[in-house]
Amino acid sequence: MASLARVEAREASEAEAAKAEQKARQEAVQAQIAAAVDAAVAEERAKAEDNAAEAAPTSPGGGGNVAPDIDWNAVPATDLTLFYPGQASFEWVQNGKTHGGARPLTKGGDACTTCHAKEVTAIGTKIVAGGEIEPTPIPGKRGTIDAAIQAAHDDENLYVRLQWPDAGHNPAPFIDGGKMDPDNQVKVAMMITGTGIEMGETTGCWASCHADNTYMPFDPGAEAIAANADVAGRLEAKDTITKYLTESRTKVEVKGRRGKAQGGWDKLKPAEEIDQLLADGTFLDLLRVYADGSSSNGYLLDRRVANDGEMAAEASLSGGVWTVVFSRPLKSGAPGDVPLEPGKVYTVGFAIHDDYAAARFHHVTFDTSLALDDETAQINVSKQ
């Protein structure tokens, strides 16, 4: 009993210390963002005086071009720590052999955050250093990114702003030139979970992250993909397999017993069934912003589909802080767009591809809740 009490006391004080450290880091990030915002505002003022004309406020100071009427100062920020996930796939998290939380996750209805909300930093720091779920580490890469996320809406649109500190360049040793995506120093993604996805609400992005995707351990390779011309054609796949939902396959191998490959890239359901899933809202809505402010609005179901959905975005680096703002209609009615309605709580996930990264070499959030005008959601999309 005495030793149990000692363990509990130690765990409590460790948790307290971790919380304090997290808080201090987030405050430092907030201070850095505030300084960058002040600098940008001052720069705009100076420009306006130079031109002796009214300068339109640009991000990160004012509403910018994407959200000109949004006063970001009035929108509360949610501090989210994005962590480096390595090769921890949807199969990996469901397999009791690899993941301690597999059973409560698959059978008990627990969410990733039920168990991991407080240890995001520890997990990211450990994985990025290399090991079982990161066989090709990038030396110097950060394990976590502290980001401030704000969301607002008017009668038509959703507006989201992410801000986070830039970090130095650490070349990927397995890529010529060290930059996986030399055109994009950063990219931002937000996914919104649709309906009818098994564990969709509790796992967020993980529902689409499979062990046979690009740079994942069971990536089938170009030859095997080419050898299955029918499926390859339907997936428009050449070298690798994009993210997909288990719902789009007749079978997905989770345990990988007797040397079976994990995943199910080639077990594609017939096209009519995929069409029905799309019509039923069974997909992950995927909004993407690139470093130059260009964007794409698509979805994940049988593969990653860029469907030219309505979306606007801008991205900038100022005072060592990245600011990305994007918007899309609350309800576009278009296939592949999750309609955002008052009174509903959505599971979303964010990803930042930092430092010219591509594919899985990103930082991500666990399941995150988002709702319109609802203070109980992690991200409260407030009306303006």
Q: b/e string for 274-299 if b means 16 or more Cβ within 10 A?
A: beebbeebbbbbbbbbbbebebbbbb
Beta carbons within 8 Å of 86's beta carbon, 6+ residues apart: 127, 128, 131, 133, 134, 360
Interacting residue with ligand HEC among 33, 77, 80, 105 (CB under 6 A): 105
With CB under 6 A as the contact rule, the residue among 76, 96, 100, 342 that binds ligand HEC is 100
Provide the residue count of the chain.
384
Q: What's the closest the beta carbon of residue 125 comes to ligand HEC, in angstroms? A: 9
Q: Which amino acid, 366?
A: F
Q: Rounded to the nearest whole angstrom, what is the least distance from the CB of residue 175 to ligand HEC in the complex? A: 24
Of the residues 68, 76, 96, 104, which one makes contact with ligand HEC according to CB under 6 A: 104
Cα-based angle 64, 329, 158 (whole degrees, multiple of 5)? 55
Q: Determine how many CB atoms are found less than 10 A away from the CB of residue 273.
A: 14
Q: Based on the shown chain and the rule CB under 6 A, indicate whether residue 203 belongs to the binding site for ligand HEC.
A: yes
Of 34-42, 44-52, 93-101, 374-382, which part binds ligand HEC (CB under 6 A)?
93-101
Min dist CB 349 to ligand HEC, Å, is 10
User: Closer to ligand HEC at the Cβ: 63 or 86?
Assistant: 86
Q: 77 vs 93, which CB is nearer to ligand HEC?
A: 93
Minimum distance, C-beta of residue 172 to ligand HEC, in the bound complex (Å): 20
Inter-residue contact 144 to 124 (CB < 8 Å)? yes
112 binds ligand HEC (CB under 6 A): yes
- Cα end-to-end distance, the chain, whole Å: 55
Footprint of ligand HEC on 118-147 (CB under 6 A): 123, 126-127
In sequence order, what are the residues at sequence separation of 6 or more whose Cβ sits closer than 8 angstroms to the Cβ of residue 192? Answer: 284, 285, 287, 338, 340, 346, 347, 348, 370
Min separation Cβ 112 and ligand HEC, Å: 3
CB of 201 to ligand HEC, least distance (A): 11
Cβ proximity to ligand HEC: between 92 and 299 the closer is: 92
Under a CB-based contact definition with an 8 Å cutoff, are residues 330 and 340 in contact? yes
Number of residues that bind ligand HEC (CB under 6 A): 18
Q: In whole angstroms, how close is the CB of 92 to ligand HEC at the nearest point?
A: 8
Which residue, 134 or 354, is less far from ligand HEC as judged by CB? 134
Dihedral in degrees, nearest 10, Cα atoms 102, 106, 112, 118: -50
Binding status of residue 269 toward ligand HEC by CB under 6 A: no
Asked if 133 and 211 touch (Cβ cutoff 8 Å), the reply is no
Instruction: Enumerate residues 6+ apart whose C-beta is below 8 A from 156.
Output: 329, 330
Nearer to ligand HEC, 121 or 228 (CB): 121
Separation CA 53–CA 50 (nearest Å): 8
| Cβ closest to ligand HEC, residue 95 vs residue 163 | 95
Of residues 39, 55, 115, 359, which one binds ligand HEC by CB under 6 A? 115
Taking a C-beta distance cutoff of 8 angstroms, is the pair 293, 314 a contact? yes
Residue nearest to ligand HEC (CB): 101
110 interacts with ligand HEC by CB under 6 A: yes
CB of 260 within 8 A of CB of 273? Answer: no
Q: Where on the chain is the footprint of ligand HEC (CB under 6 A)?
A: 85, 88, 93, 99-101, 104-105, 110, 112, 114-116, 123, 126-127, 203, 206
